[in-house]
Amino acid sequence: MFEGTVPARTAAPIYSHAVRVGVPAGLLRGIPGLDVGVFGEELVRIPAGPVGQAWQLIDEIGGDGVGSAMSAASERGCFGVWDYLFATGATLAESLRTVHEFRPLVASPTAGGAIIVDGGLLTIREATAPSPAAVIPAREEFTLALMLRRAREATGVPLVPVRVRLTQDAPRTHEHLVEVFGTRRIEFGAPHPEMSFLDAADLPIDSDPHQARVHRHYAELLMSSFRVAGDWNSTLRSVIHESMLHGTTDLRWVADRLAVGPRTIQRRLQEQGTTWRDEVEAVRYDHAVNLLRNTDLPISSVAARLGYSDVRTLRRAFLRWNGLPPSDFRRDNCGGDAAHATPEAWRQMPPTVARSVPRSVSETTLD
């Protein structure tokens, strides 16, 4: 039911970390579906795609070591009751299985991974990215480093893995990873992100049985009470935005992500008086404005992130939307979306683009 979503509680610390490492807050707020207004609501889930896009920005801007640094700054409790499930079993392996069982409290319900005990070897295996292009080193490093930190806190033992595997390509240097994991036995290009420990499965957990039951009961209550934020249209736009990051604006790709047929999307849009093309243009416009106002990316990079084949295509589109070429728009750093659009340019915008601009702006522009 909640496939493709994550709890807003998870998005909140990731958003905070992103701002801390230098990602412009305006750029984050421009990601469709990343609604900071729901971050304080524990029962709300948001689309996973926008959170993944925030991770991409963290990785690009934060640089080497940002994921492990974020784990070091994530105090117990920042991910809610899930953080306390590490101390609900009699042993480390038992607690980790509970943590994995309730993984939807911090991730998508379809996120893979496993806790594997093979003889004296305990392995924490995380979900594999769907494709090499989707691997985000910062997120991968953060996840394993956080699991290690929570395991150390639960056992009171300075655990050191005998092996760490990451799916990412080898970075220029990985000394920061050696420092975090305490070992040089780190492999890159692995099939799964994972870390293994020797003779750690039966390490005792100093847990309070009553408190453990309370935490588990609360986790079960949350799992049965989640609701998804936003309406169908906002979810659609979020997935269209995600598709652009994958180099496509194909209707079938988006339909597959939403687990519906292309005709279903087209029919619903027709009922709302809009079209697939209009929705794609609306998302492109919003994303273009966000990138031009909040980053110094070259115009060619902005065009590529919007799914355009070259700068000329972006220029023609932006002139149609806004009456200005993208370079002039960036130079002027307009105070509001479409604030410089001429009345004629406004009328030529796709209806969904016009609706995405604040009403006060549209009224001022048309006067």
For 335, the token pair is 């105070």
pLDDT digits (tens, 9 = 90+) for 37-94: 788 788 888 888 889 889 999 998 998 899 999 999 999 999 999 999 999 999 999 9
For 236, the token pair is 């659609």
Residue 18: phi and psi, rounded to 5, are -60, -45
What is the arithmetic mean of pLDDT over 292-314? 85
Higher-confidence position of 220 and 129: 220
pLDDT digits (tens, 9 = 90+) for 85-119: 999 999 999 999 999 999 999 998 877 789 999 99
For 307, the token pair is 């799914």
Q: Count CB neighbours of 6 within 10 A.
A: 24
pLDDT of residue 1: 55
pLDDT digits (tens, 9 = 90+) for 237-272: 888 888 887 778 889 988 887 778 889 899 888 877
What is the arithmetic mean of pLDDT over 305-316? 86
pLDDT digits (tens, 9 = 90+) for 167-203: 999 988 899 999 999 999 999 999 999 999 999 999 9
Q: Do 273 and 291 contact (CB within 8 A), yes or no?
A: no
Residue type, 96: L
Q: Count CB neighbours of 108 within 10 A.
A: 21
pLDDT of residue 231: 66
Strands 163-165 and 121-126: what pairing? unpaired
The 10 Å CB-count burial string (b at 16+, else e) for 163-197 is bbbbbbeebeebebbeebbeeeebeeeeeebbbbb
Q: Residue 308's pLDDT band (boundaries 50, 70, 90)?
A: confident
What stretches of the chain show up as alpha helix (H) in DSSP?
8-20, 25-29, 48-62, 66-72, 92-101, 137-155, 175-181, 209-223, 232-245, 251-258, 262-271, 276-294, 299-305, 311-322, 326-332, 343-348, 351-356, 359-366
- pLDDT for 328 beyond 50: yes
pLDDT of residue 305: 82
Global pTM value: 0.73
pLDDT of residue 202: 96
Tokens 């948001």 — which residue? 46
- pLDDT for 8 beyond 70: yes
Residue 165 CB partners (closer than 8 Å, separation 6+):
186, 187, 190, 192, 193, 194, 195
Does residue 68 sit in helix, strand or coil?
helix
What is the arithmetic mean of pLDDT over 121-140? 89
pLDDT of residue 296: 82
Residues of the chain with pLDDT > 90: what percent?
41
